Structure 1
């Protein structure tokens, strides 16, 4: 029995499998809490992007903030992807995983001089610049290193992505990008600076977007700017249309990636811009439904107003419910022939905000395993050591094989870099 929206997660003989492996076997082998990712599912999610762009000059840059494990990066690098990064640390991860710096676009609105210098040294493909002051600093850093920095300005089109306000990035009130009405001025300035080479234009309006219209509205706004910029004698080689396509967590129905891209390309071609290279930056849609978080039921606790299913995973392992009030499916790893009860699924952390799911109907006992679905994106990448909890282990699954791709964090590792002053 397959689960809607999760093609690589299915029950067989009452046991929940990821690819061809029972999740209870992964838990027995690697312990819990445990993140498990399907390589097969990641590549299947990438395929419609590749199909839709076949025959066109393009680059798919995986937005690695969604999940930055080296094995995940290696999977996409070997599939021909580039990477969308937002920090110097992410650049080092790309290089460590065998990624090509020439396929890296460096986004983010707070790049430091040191990060700029390292990215120039590595030879990144493009800097997505997010403010006019950043243009000046990047030009200065590039001149000091005797080179020119390839730049694309991230334009804020003031388009409502109709998503959670914390992950909406294309409105006037958001901190990202150059305001639409300042973009032409900023491009003129970029062209004047000797340390810069203008190569494209960038737009990213948010994350977990489940409708097509916001993308099409943003494209029209961006193409208006392209035409105004090129009327000034500048030439833009590529259109970076960002990412942000949503996934199915519970009942969401985002457009298929290839269908969405077909509509976007149709709009671009109709306006006479089909000759330009297309850059896309998908993240969540490539890894979100490829991952699960496994956790053990510790206690079933009855309260006056609520029943609580206390598990060994917590908000430090999975921040999305506490931060965004996100709803993620939670299912038992083994089906029981028993009537379900309603529980809030909560962790051990000393916060009332430490919950993974509310009002869930579950037939479980202490010692059972639960799987939080759609946990491949913004799970481990946002994990912390709050309450001095070691971060979970991670495994990569491919068919009937599994590899440990991150060790479980030992408590001693939590303070290995800390130092006591001399005793008084």
Structure 2
């Protein structure tokens, strides 16, 4: 395949062959073009339209199994709870739930989605800094595994709700270890300046307070230092070592600890990053928390779902500027906001077989939304892409559809699950009628002209 051109990065972008080599669920077929598992993506684009999210069930299963096996091989008693904020598709949640995964949720909607997908309440963890009394009551009614409390104020609120409902609340205390995960500032969660968790120095006293409150059963400690962590295991080891020290101090005081929540955040290679492996993460947990002999739990999202998904889009037109070529797609920042929000890099592959081997030239890939920020890539090496040509954004299975919106009154895209040679639409494309259906014009404004 053609060599990559210069990019804004210090090194050339990976070429099409490099991108495919790192993604075993994708391949280039001489006649069918880009194929996910056993399904030509062009078939999905033709029947379901674009933009459309497509997820590989086999990849979800394979990556969950890889993490599960790494934890087992490290000798850890561990459970995996998929972070629903990464992808709350009922089909995705069902696939992972059938593999034995639980769910980590941060809202009533995610809790309801996990239950609707068949994930038992006993495998659900409720995280987040701003749970409402309604959400806490629902969690207790459902009988979930644990609530991760993130402030002294929230502990008191959980106790009040538990008392009012006559239920016992299993509460794990999330600590803020003040550890730099060296990730994007917008997805860092373990520094003292971040809004998450209890200050480390306050945690022991608050845990003891929890043990004295009626309606609360302290279950352990939790930590989560950020998302898309690719800088090795140093930050994890530092955070887990602080958790271990605190756990030893609590146990020495006779306070109960049932399990330790290690959070998530394991990064993936979107471009050419060298991302840590599940084995490395399992090793860090074993070295720091293993000697305590307590069960551990993980809450991965991106690592499992990110590589499993693509976003299909069609070319609306190619615009030739004075010094640039713009490839304008029917997908936009309201669909995939990560490039606009995080300056994120996503691989972009054409679907047509001839385009995968055609000469390349720099192009800015943009959407139709009225924002300059509606830009997916600048100076990307791509072939000629006439109107109607199809492309796929890689590694779009996490924080893609869940972060999409209807900005510019653009309906939400369809979602599809591929499972071997089978595929099905799992969320139909939102219609314009449905987009307007829940809006009401007050009577005093009169009838439309």
Shorter-chain TM-score: which interval?
A: over 0.9
> Which ranges of structure 1 fall in alignment gaps of 5 or more residues?
none
Say whether 1:239 aligns with 2:260.
yes
Q: Distance in 2 between matches of 1:317 and 1:62?
A: 22
Contact 1:102 1:124 in 2 (8 A): yes
Equivalent residues of 1:5, 1:249 under 8 A apart? no
Alignment pair present for 1:352 and 2:372:
yes
**Superposition deviation, residue 58 in structure 1:** 2.2
Is the aligned partner of 1:5 residue 2:25? no
Q: CA deviation at 1:206?
A: 0.3
Determine whether 1:67 maps to 2:91.
no
| Correspondence for 1:318 | 336
- Checking the alignment, whether the CA contact within 8 Å between 1:5 and 1:289 is kept in structure 2 is no
Corresponding position: 1:79 with 2:79 = no
Checking the alignment, whether the CA contact within 8 Å between 1:40 and 1:399 is kept in structure 2 is yes
1:276-321 residue CA offsets vs partner (Å, 9 max, x unmatched)? 1111000000000000001001101011232100000000000100
Q: Which SS does the other structure have where 1:6 is aligned?
A: coil
Moved more, 87-96 or 1-10: 1-10
Aligned to 1:369: 390
The secondary structure found in structure 2 opposite 1:109 is: coil
Q: Is residue 248–residue 254 contact of structure 1 (8 Å, CA) maintained in 2?
A: yes
Give 1:56 deviation, angstroms.
Answer: 4.0
CA deviation string 1:159-179 (max 9, x = no partner): 111100000000010000001
For 1:18 and 1:125, the matched residues in 2 are separated by 36
Tell me, yes or no, if structure 1 residue 299 matches structure 2 residue 299: no
Matching of residues 230-309 of structure 1 within 5 Å: 230-269=251-290, 272-273=291-292, 275-309=293-327
Deviations 1:169-220 (A, max 9, x none): 0001000000111111111111111121001110000000012111111110
TM-score when normalising by structure 2: 0.92
Aligned to 1:413: 434
Counterpart secondary structure, 2:69: helix
Structure 1 SS opposite 2:103: strand
Question: How far apart are the structure 2 equivalents of 1:263 and 1:349?
Answer: 44
Instruction: Determine the C-alpha separation between the residues in 1 that align with 2:146 and 2:84.
Output: 16
- The answer on whether the counterparts of 2:76 and 2:286 sit within 8 Å (CA) in structure 1 is no
Report matched runs for 1:106-185 at 5 Å. Answer: 106-185=126-205
- 5 Å-filtered alignment, 1:322-401, equals 322-334=340-352, 335-336=354-355, 337-363=357-383, 364-401=385-422
CA distance in 2, matches of 1:46, 1:31: 30
TM-score, with length taken from structure 1: 0.97
Match of 2:423 in 1: 402
1:265, distance to aligned residue in structure 2 (A):
1.1
Map of 1:225 onto structure 2: 246
- What SS does the corresponding residue of 1:418 show, helix, strand or coil? coil
Give the Cα–Cα distance (whole angstroms) in 2 for the partners of residues 405 and 45 of structure 1. 21
Secondary structure of the 1:75 match is helix
Distance in 2 between the 1:260 and 1:108 partners? 23
What residue is the counterpart of 1:94 in the other structure?
114
Note the C-alpha offset of 1:48: 1.6
Partner SS state of residue 25, structure 2: strand
The answer as to whether partners of 1:393 and 1:404 remain within 8 angstroms in 2 is yes
Residues in 2 aligned to 1:306 and 1:142: alpha-carbon distance in whole angstroms: 61
Q: CA deviation at 1:90?
A: 0.5
Matches of 1:304 and 1:185, distance apart in 2: 65
Instruction: Please name the residue that 2:38 is paired with.
Output: 20
Q: Deviations over 1:232-256 (max 9, x none)?
A: 2202110100001001100111111
How far apart, in 2, do the equivalents of 1:49 and 1:338 lie?
A: 38
How far did 1:259 drift?
Answer: 3.0
Distance 1:289 1:56 in 2: 26
Does the 8 Å contact 2:236/2:284 carry over to 1?
no
- In the alignment, the residues of structure 1 paired with residue 328 and residue 139 of structure 2 have an alpha-carbon distance, to the nearest angstrom, of 45
Kept in 1: contact 2:233–2:280 (CA 8 A): no
Count of residue correspondences = 421
Question: Cα offset for 1:397?
Answer: 0.3
